[in-house]
Chain A
Amino acid sequence: MQIHDNPALKAEARNLNFYYGEAKALKGINMPIYDKKVTALIGPSGCGKSTYLRSFNRMHDLYPGNRYEGEIRFFPDNTNLLSPEVDPIEVRMRVGMVFQKPNPFPKSIYENVAYGLRVRGENNKRVLDDKVEHALKGGALWDEVKDRLNELASNLSGGQQQRLCIARALATDPELLLFDEPTSALDPIATAAIEELVHELKKRVTILIVTHNMQQAARVSDYTAYMFLGEMIEFGKTDEIFLKPKDKRTEDYITGRMG
């Protein structure tokens, strides 16, 4: 799986295994994540793509009985994100996440975006105002909400809520942004807006996105990984994966014969 003229590495999974209790959910995954690129994870339900994604911000640490083996190296500092010596909170401060279903807090639009900054101890009103505006612009939501920042986030539409969640993640300048099927709860128009935003965001942040939708993977990503039953079957440039997959299983999935 040698790929030439590649950009710099942002992260790399090395022989990653993951267990929910006794059940092995990820089996020996090796995969590079390139800096300022969009990498899509595709595969049928239950193949472990969300499990893999949630390893990058140690979300599994929130629940008992989960166990990692192997490494996820994070660059440029070559930190192993999964090391027991690395605080998961420190990992989450560097790696942002957007969830499947929009999950804004039942607070104002402003407070939703400012939350990550407050958690970091920022209380200066001017700094907060500034960063909230910047993040909302980054989430392509500023023009729609600039006159009602103090309204409840739950008053926004589903698509706006999801862009708010993206802004919330952007506010703290993450190095890597994880998207866990971010459009599966949205209508086609809202989906298009999110996809466009992802395209825009890769100028400033590395993106790893799980999607059920192969067209979406083809549209938004530079690299694609196909996963099946907890294994990484194939990884490559998106057009290569879709146009000439090397593995039979990848081809079956992409052509719709499976999954």
Chain B
Amino acid sequence: MQPLTTEQIRAVIARGKLKDTIFKALGLFCLSIGLLVIVALIVDMFIKGSERFTLDFFMNFASRRATQAGILSAWVGSLLVMLVTALAAVPLGVAAGLYLEEYAKRNWLTHIIEVNISNLAAVPSIVYGLLALGIFVYQFGFGQSILSAGLTLALLILPIIIVATREAIRAIPAMIREGSMAVGATRWQTCRYHIIPYAMPGILTGVIIGLARAIGETAPIITIGALTFIAFLPPVPFTGEPPAGLFEWVMSPFTVMPIQIFNWTSRPDPAFEVNAAAAGFVLMVMVLSMNAVAIYLRYKMRKNIKW
């Protein structure tokens, strides 16, 4: 092949750069579709619901009159359900992830378990709802309570936490583990002093992303029978007569934000649409602030962890 002349080289470069530009424009377009839709949605809900953003809206119970209806029981319910979810899912998920990474022997059984954790993440949430209805609500007799809902959502986000834990652990270099074992530490001492603390930023991020997913779940909560009209609050957690009183709140009936929204959108009176939009916006703010906290914590905790 003849060597290219300078002219030809320039032509080749120009063709290459044209493709560069085309792809750049295309990529930006695709990116903005996703972003614009979510921004439009949030802005739209904000504008539609703007007349409801008063203190009363947050402090009122549900009502037959749209203008007097509020989301008090819904946001309190959401927070309490999330508390139960986190308390159940975090220890289970972290322990499972730790076991798989640090203790489990690499054999076919571990392999099957690993594949099925991914499968677990793909199970439709309504199926978890059915499972929970049978087991938590009836078999264990927890009823249509905060406890049942929290445990259901905990199952739902367990795979997310397990996967996040494993990835965070895998990012820790082998030389740290070896350094610890070389002074005579046991596996557990290595986990307790090194693996768990160094994996914590990644684990926390996974936990919060899981919770952000759980707080918006509607289907499994409806399945286990959350009520849509709750005009009272559960007892304040951890304040009753110990020991049983401390946990009275977990057995309380409840509603959560997505259910309240779903309820309002299915009413014939268009005034409730305003409520639904306002509540939708509040839910979005809750989810986005959880993500913001996750990002902040990750940044903050990673600063001190360098290899």
Contacts and interface: CB of A to CB of B under 8 A. Distances in A.
Contacts of A90: 184
B306 A119 contact: no
A119 B307 contact: no
Contacts of A57: 182
A101 interface: yes
Interface string B170-190: 000101111111111110010
Given A59-B182, A92-B183, A101 B175 contact: yes
Nearest to B305: A106
Given A106-B198, A106-B307, A115-B193, A169 B178 contact: no
Contacts of B182: 57, 59, 92, 96-97, 99, 169
B179 A154 contact: no
Interface in B279-307: 304-307
A116 to B, nearest CB: 4
Given A106-B306, A154-B306, A115 B180 contact: yes
B98 to A, nearest CB: 16
Q: Which bucket holds chain B's interface residue count?
A: 20 to 34
Contacts of B189: 119
B299 to A, nearest CB: 16
A57 B185 CA distance: 12
B48 interface: no
A96 B178 contact: no
B304 A106 contact: yes
Contacts of A152: 304, 306
Contact of B176 (A92, A105, A118, A168): A105
B194 A105 contact: yes
A82 B114 CA distance: 33
Interface in A46-65: 57, 59, 62, 64
B106 A103 contact: no
A62 B106 CA distance: 12
A59 B193 contact: no
Contacts of A25: none
A169 B178 CA distance: 13
Nearest to A119: B185
Nearest to A155: B306
Contacts of A93: 183-184
Contact of A89 (B176, B184, B305): B184
A165 interface: yes
A105 B184 contact: no
Interface in A134-154: 152, 154
Nearest to B194: A105
Contacts of A120: 184
Nearest to B307: A106
Nearest to A104: B179
A64 B183 contact: no
A160 interface: no
A241 B17 CA distance: 62
Given A96-B183, A97-B182, A172-B184, A64 B106 contact: yes
B105 interface: yes
Interface string A98-118: 010101111000000001101
A239 to B, nearest CB: 31
Contact of B178 (A99, A106, A116, A154): A99
Interface string B235-272: 00000000000000000000000000000000000000
B183 A168 contact: yes
B169 to A, nearest CB: 15
Contacts of A172: 183-184
7 contacts: A89-B184, A92-B184, A101-B175, A104-B179, A105-B179, A106-B306, A115-B180
Given A118-B193, A152-B304, A152-B306, 12 more contacts: A59-B181, A62-B181, A92-B182, A93-B184, A97-B182, A99-B179, A99-B182, A101-B175, A103-B176, A103-B178, A105-B176, A169-B183
